[in-house]
Chains A and B, each alone.
Chain A
Amino acid sequence: MSIYFKISKKLDHFDLDLEFGFDQGVLAIQGESGAGKTTVLNCIAGLTRPDEGRIAFGERVVFDSEAGIDVPARLRNIGYLFQNYALFPNMTVRQNIIYGIRNKPEYGDKAKREELLRYADEVMETFGIAHLKKKHPNRISGGEKQRVALSRAIVTQPSLLLLDEPFSALDHQTKENIYEQFAEFKKIFRIPTILITHDPAESEMFADSRILIKDGGII
């Protein structure tokens, strides 16, 4: 499935204007802080509205300013790993992970529901977080939070995964461990992914293609 984005957005200090596309694997968007990287992800996820542009996943257009198409975030089927993970503090790890599943229309069907929940348990096993399922996010470590947030983002089987600086909040040792797991994850799940990072080494490690944003454009 080819993924295409053309986004124009007026920001406080500059205008963001970019166009890019990729077919599969991991696309890294590199750039300094304040370059507008998170805004790009928010536009793709439907959390921020671009002033102009077009966003399409294969045949499915989720935003087109000329055609007046703007599919709401909840219907875009995108997995989003936020920079601070945004785990719901009032829910346990398992409740966080199955939150998105419970919003799926097929969750109403008993057989489908069991299948979805089984898949959630499998994902938790794969990420080594099954033993944390009854804990609240404030009781687990940074690395565990990251894995929970990643599980929550992929368990709904999204058509695109957005990762916003997924390693920035981790200490050096945890980062090394997570890098290994992430490489493994990339092989297992094969979801087209956009990875935002300011670290060239991370994009070197994980990305199949790369773009660099500066002064609102791609260089």
Chain B
Amino acid sequence: MLSPILLSLKIATIATVFSFVLGVFFAYILNRKRIPGKSFWETLLILPMVLPPSVTGYLLLIAFGKRGFIGGFLLENFEIQIVFTWVAAVIASCIVSLPLMYQNAKSAFISLDPVYEQAARTLGSSEWKIFRTVIFPLAWPGVISGIVLSFARAIGEFGATLMVAGNIPGKTQTIPTAIYFAVESGKTELANRLVLIMTIFSFVLIFGLNAWLKKRNYIGRQG
């Protein structure tokens, strides 16, 4: 029972790191800078949230499969196979959790009063320093929400993961896929235990986030 739990934690953690970096980057670039085709890029980023996971999984399979344009390239040049490995599960989890990270970071960035940026600019800061010392720290509570929700989404990812990573015990079997196959093969006790763990874990995560945001009372900190 331990193996799918550890693998789920590993996959969700790595996927969250990537969705954090990509989500914050795109949220900042698309919402604080003038970027042509902003609506198109934004729709593309949010698409995995509304598409059925099987569609996302299928598209990833086309891209990363042996004959896919990325998968084929990696296999031919570096002998690296992505599909049916834990790396594929990371990619699937990252893609489906990215919209949550993006949306939360976007809300945090656009709700910031631009006067802080202007003040930093008149005080001699470069754009990178303004981001590092003013914008990002002020957007931090929103970004934290994004990280927690992305992690929760990544750890619960099922459909797309099953399609690109399969269900190989010890290699790609995560908690959600283990639950599915435990139920299908009549192992109700195992399924019950995993469902309980998953539910408690998600509850604690969301409860903790809300408590932290409330305690932080971010609105009251505006100067």
Chain A interface residues toward B at CB < 8 A: 42, 45-47, 72-80, 82, 84-90, 99-100, 103-104, 136-138, 145, 152, 156
Contacts and interface: CB of A to CB of B under 8 A. Distances in A.
A31 B20 CA distance: 47
Contact of B123 (A84, A137, A156): A156
Given A84-B115, A86-B115, A90-B138, A74 B122 contact: yes
B125 interface: yes
Given A85-B223, A90-B138, A136-B221, A152 B123 contact: yes
Interface in B98-131: 113, 115-116, 118-126, 129
B109 to A, nearest CB: 15
8 contacts: A42-B118, A47-B118, A74-B125, A86-B119, A99-B133, A100-B123, A104-B124, A145-B223
A45 B116 CA distance: 14
A75 B126 CA distance: 10
Given A47-B122, A73-B121, A79-B122, A88 B116 contact: yes
B137 interface: yes
Given A74-B125, A86-B115, A99 B221 contact: no
A58 to B, nearest CB: 19
Interface string B59-70: 000000000000
B186 interface: no
Given A47-B118, A73-B118, A85-B223, 10 more contacts: A76-B122, A80-B118, A80-B119, A86-B116, A88-B138, A89-B138, A90-B134, A100-B123, A136-B223, A145-B223
Contacts of A89: 138, 221-223
A87 B133 CA distance: 13
Chain B, interface residues (CB within 8 Å), range: 20 to 34
Q: Which 8 A-B pairs have the closest CB atoms?
A: A137-B223, A103-B124, A100-B123, A89-B223, A86-B119, A87-B223, A90-B137, A73-B121
A168 to B, nearest CB: 15
A100 B124 contact: yes
Contacts of A79: 122
B220 interface: yes
A10 B35 CA distance: 24
Contacts of B126: 74
A75 B138 CA distance: 24
Contacts of B138: 88-90
Contact of B122 (A45, A84, A104, A137): A45
A64 B30 CA distance: 31
Contacts of B116: 86, 88
A40 B54 CA distance: 56
B121 A47 contact: yes
Contacts of B221: 89-90, 136, 138
Nearest to A103: B124
Contacts of A100: 123-124
A136 B223 CA distance: 8
A82 B123 contact: no
Contacts of B123: 74, 99-100, 103, 152, 156
B118 to A, nearest CB: 5
A82 B115 contact: yes
B143 to A, nearest CB: 13
A86 B124 contact: no
A76 B119 CA distance: 13
B223 A138 contact: yes
A158 B223 CA distance: 23
Contacts of A156: 123-124
B118 A103 contact: no
A82 B118 contact: yes
A103 B119 contact: no
Contacts of A90: 134, 137-138, 221
